[in-house]
Amino acid sequence: MDVVRSRVDTGSEGFRRNRQDMLALLAEVEAQLALARAGGGERSVARHRERGKLLIRERIELLLDRDAPFLELSPLAGWGTDFSVGGGFVSGIGVVSGVECVVCGHDPTVLGGAITAVSLKKINRALEISRLNRLPYVQFVESAGGDLRRGTEDPDAEMRRQLTHFAESGRLFHDITCLSGERIPTVSVVFGSSTAGGAYQPGMSDYNIFIRNRSRVYLGGPPLVKMATGEDADDEELGGGEMHAGTSGLADYLADDEPSAIRMARSVIAHLNWRKLGPGPTQPADEPLYDAEELLGLLPVDLRSPMDVREVIGRITDGSRFEEFKPLYGKTLVCGWASIHGFPVGIIGNNGVLFSDSSQKAAQFIQLCNKIDTPLVFLQNITGYMVGRQYEHGGIVKHGSQMINAVSNSAVPHITVILGASYGAGNYGMSGRAYDTRFAFTWPSAKISIMGPKQLAGVMSIVRRGGARAAGRAFDEEEDARLFAAVEDRAERSRSRSTRRGAWRTTASSIRGIRGRCSASRCRRCTGPRFAGPTASACSGSDVKRAPIRRLLVANRGEIARRIFRTCRLDGDCDGGGVCGSGSRCAARAGRGRGGGARGSVGGGDLSRCREADRCGEAGRGRCGASGVWVSGGECGIRAGGDRGWSHLGWSVA
C-alpha cells in the first residue's frame, strides 16, 4: 500500500501561526472543560464531601481498570445555555474488568442530580451508543428526579417557547429495557436518592447494587406519601437499601459503602463473560510516519484557506499508508483504504466543494466498503455542493442525492470527524450527526451551519432588496449594511456555538487522578498511587501552577480514540487559558480555586473574564466585574434559578 508523502513545511510562518491559533482554541475548550469538572461549584462540592461521598468522576475513576482511558462524551453539552456546562451528567466509554462499557452517572452537586433537558439528551445518546456498539451499560444513579423549576414570568410566553414535553422523557426507560432485550447487560449502582421517575433507572436494569443507609429508591418520598395516603414513613423504611435487599427484592447486592459498591460493579462486569462481535485488528498497527503533533499546524482557523486532507490522513493511519481510490477523478473528494490501530477502514475526506463527479465517486466508494464490511471514516471540511446554472444542468441534485442515498443506506459503522467547515447538504453527504454516524468528533476550529456566514447575510440582503423593490419603496443601503454585518456576526457565533453546546458533541478526555492532584491538568510530577493525594506523591500540591491541558482528538482509532495531545506547562503564567482569562500572571496556587490574588482578584481586581469563577469575588468583596452581580456571604445575589452554584452565572467566555 502506498505511503502518503507530506508536503507541509513545518518551519514556515504559516504553520507556526496555525499552531498558535489552534492552541489558543484548545485553551478555550480546556477552560470550559474545567467548568464542567467543577460541577455545581465549590460550595456544592464541599457539602457533598461533608456527607462522606465521592464526586461522580471519582466514582468513575474507581470503576475503571487501572490506567485505562476514558472517552468522555458530550462534556460541553449545555454550553451557552442557562444550564451548567456538562448538564450535570457525565457519560463516556471506559474499560471495566477488561470489558469496554458505556459508563455514565448523575452529578449530585448540580441540582441534586436532577434530570434536565441537557442531561436527558446525554442519557439518551449514551443509551444509543451502547445499543449501536453493543457495549454493556453501567449507570451511577443519584438523582432528584425531573427538573421541576419553572420561570416566574408570563406563563403563556413561557409556554410558547417550550418545545419539549414531559412525555418525551420516558424514552430513556424504554431504551434501558430494550438493551436487556438485545442481550446487552445493564448495571445500576445507586449512591443516593432515586426518586419518582429516577426510580425506574434501577428498576429497568439487569443488575442493581445498593448501599446501606445511602440508597433510597421510591416512586413517592415521605412527603408525597403523607399527602396522598396519610401514612407516616421515613426514607429508610420506605425505600432504603436494606429494605430493597431484604423485602422488595429490587436490590441484587447490598454494599456497606461506595468503594464496596464499585468493587461489586466491577465483579458483575467480570462475570458477564462478554465477547465483542466481529473480527479484531488484522493489519499492522504501526505508528504514522509523521508526528501527530503536526496536526496542530495544518488547518488554519480561517476556514477559507485550503488544506490538503491527505496531510491529516498521513498522520492518523497506520504507517501513514493509504491506497487512494480514483485519484484522478472527482479530485475535490479523497477516497481510499487504510488501517487505524490495525482495523481496516475506508476514508472519505474533503478537498473542496462537492461536484457531480466527486459525488458519484463517493457513492461508489461507500458501496464498495459495504460489500467488504469495512467501516468508514469521514473527514469533513465542506462548504456544500456546487451551485450554479452549469451544475444544475449537469445534474448536481441527482448526483448529490445519490451520495446522500449511499450514506443513508450504508450498513457499516461510520465515524465522522469535522475538521473545519460543515455547511448545508455537505454535512449530510459526509455523514453528519443526523445520518446515524456512530461517533461525531469535532476539532476546535469546526463550524457547522446551514451555510457560510457571508452567504447567509448576502441571501438575506438580496431578499430585503427584492421586498423593497416589490413594495415600491426606497432601499436603505446603510440599514442593509448594518443588518448584513449583524447577520454575519450572529451566524459566525452560532455556528461556532453549535459545536460546543450540542449534546451530541464528543470530546476525548482522561479523568484519571482527579482527586488529590496538584491541579486539574494532572501534573506529571504527581507519581503517587491514585487518590493518594499530593502528600503521597512527588508533588507538594501547591508548588505547581495550574496550566491547561492541550488536547486534540484527531479520529477514533479502533475502539476508544486515535489521538489525545497533552502539554502540561509548569511555568508560572496562566496565559489566558486556565485559571484566569485576562492573560495576566495568576497568583493563585494550584487547587485553591481562586481567580488569583489573596482575595480572588485577577490582574489588579478585574474579575470580568475570570474563567475559574468558583470563588470569583470572595465574600463581601463588592461587585463581580463580569455582570455587576453583588456577591455577599459567598453566594450570588440573584442565583438565577436555584441551587446550581454561582459559577455558571454571568461569567461568559467568548
Examine the pLDDT at 258 and tell me if it is beyond 90: yes
Distances (CA, A) of 427 to 316, 350, 437, 484, 501: 22, 11, 12, 25, 18
Domains by residue range for the chain, with CATH: 55-270 (3.90.226.10), 292-449 (3.90.226.10), 513-550+558-571 (no CATH)
> Which pLDDT score, from 0 to 100, does residue 615 have?
37
Render pLDDT for 84-120 as a digit per residue (tens, 0 to 9): 899 999 999 999 999 999 999 999 999 888 888 888 8
Instruction: Provide mean pLDDT across the span 38-57.
Output: 92
| Averaged pLDDT score across all residues of the chain | 76
Categorize the per-residue pLDDT at 152 as very low, low, confident or very high, splitting at 50, 70 and 90. low
Helix, strand, coil percent content, the chain, rounded in steps of 5: 35, 15, 50
Categorize the per-residue pLDDT at 161 as very low, low, confident or very high, splitting at 50, 70 and 90. low
> Which pLDDT score, from 0 to 100, does residue 29 have?
92
Closest to 121 measured CA to CA, from 53, 55, 73: 73
Distances (CA, A) of 588 to 36, 542, 584: 20, 9, 12
Handedness of CA 89, 591, 545, 598 (dihedral sign): positive
Calpha distance 103→117 (Å, rounded): 20
Distances (CA, A) of 265 to 61, 89, 97: 13, 19, 10
Percent of the chain at pLDDT above 70?
72
Instruction: Provide mean pLDDT across the span 572-582.
Output: 37
> Which pLDDT score, from 0 to 100, does residue 225 have?
87
> Which pLDDT score, from 0 to 100, does residue 148 have?
67
Calpha distance 376→66 (Å, rounded): 31
Q: Report the predicted TM-score, pTM, of the whole model to 2 decimal places.
A: 0.72
- Could you give the 3-state DSSP secondary structure of residue 380? strand
Amino acid type, 218: Y
Calpha distance 291→260 (Å, rounded): 43
Cell of 362: 463517493
